[in-house]
Amino acid sequence: MSGPSWRRPRPERQGWPETRPPVARWRKNAAGLLANVHDVAAHGVSLIVVQSVAAQAVFDSAPDRARAALESIESEAHGTLVEMRRLLGGLGPRPEGEGTPSPPETLEQLVARVASAGQPVTAEIDSNVHAGGSLGLTVYRCLQEALTNAVKHAPGSPTSVVVRCAGGRVEIEVENGPPARPAEPGEGGRGLAGMRERVGILGGTMAAGPTARGGFRVQVSMPTGDLP
């Protein structure tokens, strides 16, 4: 006859079930963080490269313009660092129920910043599109990535932006013409693929491809269920 089976009591861990976030939520937060870091870094670096090329082109012939470009580079680099620190400051799981982070600027400010870097941009932005909530952040990131794509692959090319609400959907269209000057060499990234993933999460669609005039067009359509 075997003796009694003794088990060492397992100490209670106060609050363990409540404070241990599900792994799935960790992974979701990490994926979102990586996507945001990619968008911020790619956008900032692309604008810095464009302005660096512009500064070099007029360094001797127009030093005032070169100085202005260098000041713009400094401002863009500082803004990119601030936004990266803001994103990385939220590294780790967010508490349940915490809202979606807001974009760092309005859509109009984003367009103006790209235009000031030397990309000719015209924009029509519907005032009913608010940069808040998950949809607002996705609209901002999509516009940011589409403009980054235009700056990177068609520097100096006239670029048009349309953001509007119609038929219960928010629509984004960014189109640029052929490059006005040679684009910087480099391998393709995953910006458009990441945009498609963002849009798909909210039940939207995204299309991107060359135009008959030799330019490029990005179109996004998402339901406006998250807009007030």
Residue 132 has a pLDDT of 72
Q: Does residue 214 belong to any structural domain of this protein?
A: yes
Residues 182 and 154: their CA atoms lie apart, in Å, by: 8
Q: Give pLDDT tens digits for 43-68.
A: 777 777 777 877 787 788 878 877 88
Q: Does residue 1 belong to any structural domain of this protein?
A: no
The residue with tokens 């798909």 is 200
Residue 195 has a pLDDT of 87
Q: Does residue 96 belong to any structural domain of this protein?
A: yes
Q: Does residue 17 belong to any structural domain of this protein?
A: no
Residue 188 has a pLDDT of 55
Q: 3-class SS at 142?
A: helix
pTM of this prediction exceeds 0.75: no
Q: Does residue 45 belong to any structural domain of this protein?
A: yes
What average pLDDT does the chain have? 78
* CATH number where 81 lies: 3.30.565.10
Q: Does residue 56 belong to any structural domain of this protein?
A: yes
Domain region containing 134: 22-223
Q: Does residue 10 belong to any structural domain of this protein?
A: no
Residue 222 has a pLDDT of 95
Q: Which of 69-78, 170-179, 180-189 has the lowest mean pLDDT?
A: 180-189
Residue at 138: amino acid letter: T
Q: How many domains does the chain have?
A: 1
Residue 223 has a pLDDT of 93
Q: Does residue 16 belong to any structural domain of this protein?
A: no
Give, in order, the Cα–Cα distances in Å from 3 to each of 8, 132, 205. Answer: 16, 66, 68
Residue at 106: amino acid letter: T
